Amino acid sequence: MTTISVALGARSYDVRIEPGLLARAGEVLAPLSRGRPMPIVTDTNLAAHCETLVASLAAAGVSAPVLTLPAGESTKSWAQLEALTDWLLAQGVVRSDHVIALGGGVIGDLVGFATSILKRGCNFVQIPTTLLAQVDSSVGGKTAINSKAGKNLIGAFHQPAVVLIDPQVLDTLPQRELRAGYAEVAKYGLIDDAGFFAWCEGNAAALFAGDPQARAHAIGHSVAAKARIVAADERETTGTRALLNLGHTFGHALEAETGFSDKLLHGEAVAAGMALAFAFSAEQGLCPAEDAARVAAHLRAVGLPDGLAAAGVTADGATLVGHMLHDKKMEGSTLPFLLARAIGRTYLDKTVDLEKVAAFLDGQTA
Ligand SMILES: NC(=O)c1ccc[n+]([C@@H]2O[C@H](COP(=O)([O-])OP(=O)(O)OC[C@H]3O[C@@H](n4cnc5c(N)ncnc54)[C@H](O)[C@@H]3O)[C@@H](O)[C@H]2O)c1
Ligand SMILES: [Zn+2]
């Protein structure tokens, strides 16, 4: 078992990573239950994993009522938040209880937010089941639902009590979802760890083939990176946590252009966005062209989009920049961008000229 602690003073918690952990979750979680039930919230694609979890809790003497919500992004809604909080209240949940989120980022974000407001805040446990949730969304305490005005606009910071990661649950995850989550793994290397990016280049094939060691290393390294960044800047006030948004401003424009639909998954948009951030940095003379080419080549090698064309986006620069202006990271009239000096050396630039960005994007589609 690898244990990584997220050091946040009174809100500190452990992330435990171990193949087969889901079947042993009961013994790990029983001390937290203190004789009380632990309600599980999951989605319709996770029935088999949920059975494993319920059986493990039962064997440890913990009863676990289950609420199964529809799979998909549309579950991060006011309607499902209401359904979930009504159900938790009907279960008689009190503030010291722990609610389990078993699923990807959708279930984790929804349950995290619901428990941040239920009885003015109760506890929750993350058991992430997608690669994206294991390496990114389950750690760090950002929780949210979507509103008509945009994604993740209604939410709270609410840290889990513990995160349990079983890399084996990824065996049932569709390859496309695995690839999309992998974009966030490679991101940690590109942000500030060139050595890890080189590891990714050498080991991605093994990871995709299901090699348990490659998966455990990628997850452990990513979680440790996220834990370090979150501990330094829990609420994204100093700029450190903003580094995690590498590729996300360009990516957000691509997601908006494709209607936040299955045409382009979040991780796919982030992959294309990271390639664009490096290409733009190279064009501006900030970063060696070889580094931008290396980023694009690795993303292509694992089957992720490496730019606008591969992401299936044909919109012009002005349209895409228009989408960026709706981004919640807008600060007055400037939009902070994460740019690169090299692989593993990214920084937040608040002086980027949006006309240059539009011209660069026009050059990409020409
Ligand atoms: N809180 C954060 O810090 C943070 C960070 C990044 C992303 N997010 C959010 O995460 C969400 C995306 O998360 P996601 O990519 O995990 O999507 P998701 O939760 O929708 O899961 C993707 C799909 O995989 C299915 N699935 C999950 N685990 C499975 C498994 N083991 N086997 C088979 N199928 C499985 C799900 O049912 C779903 O259909 C977005 O809403 C995004 O805003 C949050
Ligand atoms: Zn992301």
CA distance 51 to 66: 10
- Ligand 1: residue of 6, 40, 44, 45 to mutate (most ligand atoms within 8 A of CB) is 45
Q: For the domain 175-365, what is the CATH superfamily, name and number?
A: Dehydroquinate synthase-like - alpha domain (1.20.1090.10)
Q: Is residue 71 lining ligand 1, measured as CB closer than 6 Å?
A: yes
pLDDT at site 176: 98
Measure 251 CA to ligand 2 centroid, in angstroms: 9
Distance from the alpha carbon of residue 66 to the mean position of ligand 2, in angstroms: 28
Residue 158 annotated to the active site: no
Nearest ligand to the CA atom of 77? 1
Q: Calculate what percentage of the chain has a pLDDT beyond 90.
A: 94
Q: For residue 327, is pLDDT > 80?
A: no
pLDDT in tens, 347-362: 999 999 999 999 999 9
> How far are the Cα atoms of 2, 77, 206 from residue 209, in angstroms, in the given order?
22, 35, 5
Q: Which of 68, 129, 159 to mutate to test the pocket of ligand 1 (most atoms within 8 A of CB)?
A: 129
Q: Is 73 in the pocket of ligand 1 (CB under 6 A)?
A: yes
- Ligand 2 centre from 349 Cα, in Å? 19
- Residue 137: both structure tokens together: 């969304």
Q: What b/e readout covers 179-216, taking b as 16+ CB neighbours within 10 angstroms?
A: bbbbbbbbbbbbbbbeebbebbbebbeebbeeeeebbb
| Per-residue confidence (pLDDT) for residue 314, from 0 to 100 | 95
- Determine the distance separating the centroid of ligand 2 and the alpha carbon of 187, expressed in angstroms: 9
Give the model's pLDDT for residue 329.
Answer: 62
* pLDDT one-digit tens code per residue, 4-21: 999 999 999 999 999 999
Model pLDDT, residue 150: 86
Asked if residue 159 has pLDDT above 80, the reply is: yes
Pocket lining: 130 vs ligand 1, CB cutoff 6 Å: yes
Q: How confident is the model at residue 326 (pLDDT cuts 50, 70, 90)?
A: confident
Which atom of ligand 1 sits closest to the CA of residue 265? 15
Question: Any catalytic annotation for residue 298?
Answer: no
Mean pLDDT on 196-203? 98
Using a 6 Å cutoff on CB, does residue 219 contact ligand 1? no
pLDDT tens-digit map of 212-247: 999 999 999 999 999 999 999 999 999 899 999 999
Q: What percent of the chain has pLDDT over 70?
A: 98
CATH number belonging to the domain at 2-171, selected among 1.10.510.10, 3.40.50.720, 3.40.50.1970, 3.30.200.20: 3.40.50.1970
Amino acid at residue number 331: E
Q: For ligand 1, is residue 103 a contact (CB within 6 Å)?
A: yes
Q: How confident is the model at residue 330 (pLDDT cuts 50, 70, 90)?
A: low
Q: Which of 45, 245, 257, 268 is catalytic?
A: 245
Q: What is the mean pLDDT of the chain?
A: 96
Tens digits of per-residue pLDDT, 299-309?
Answer: 999 999 999 99
Of the listed ligands, the closest to the CA of 270 is 2
| Mean pLDDT of the region 81-85 | 98
Torsion-angle region of 267 (φ positive above 0: left; ψ -120 to 50: alpha; else: beta): alpha
Question: Tell me: the pLDDT tens digits for 111-154?
Answer: 999 999 999 999 999 999 999 999 999 999 999 999 998 889 99
- Predicted confidence (pLDDT) at residue 157 exceeds the cutoff of 80: yes
- Per-residue confidence band for 197, with pLDDT thresholds at 50, 70 and 90: very high
Whole-number Å distance, alpha carbon 106 to ligand 1 midpoint, is 5
pTM (two decimals)? 0.97
Q: Is residue 11 annotated as a catalytic residue, yes or no?
A: no
Name the residue of 137, 187, 233 to mutate for ligand 1: max ligand atoms within 8 A of Cβ. 137
Domains of the chain by residue range: 2-171, 175-365
* Amino acid letter, 239: G
Does 104 sit in the ligand 1 pocket, CB within 6 Å? yes
Confidence (pLDDT) at 300: 98
Q: Range with the lowest mean pLDDT among 97-111, 249-263, 321-335?
A: 321-335
The stretch 73-81 carries a mean pLDDT of 97
Contacts by 345-354, CB closer than 8 A, 24 or more apart: 345/192, 345/194, 346/190, 346/191, 346/192, 346/243, 346/246, 346/277, 348/239, 348/242, 348/243, 354/321, 354/324, 354/325
Q: Could you read off the pLDDT of 87-111 as tens digits, one per residue?
A: 999 999 999 999 999 999 999 999 9
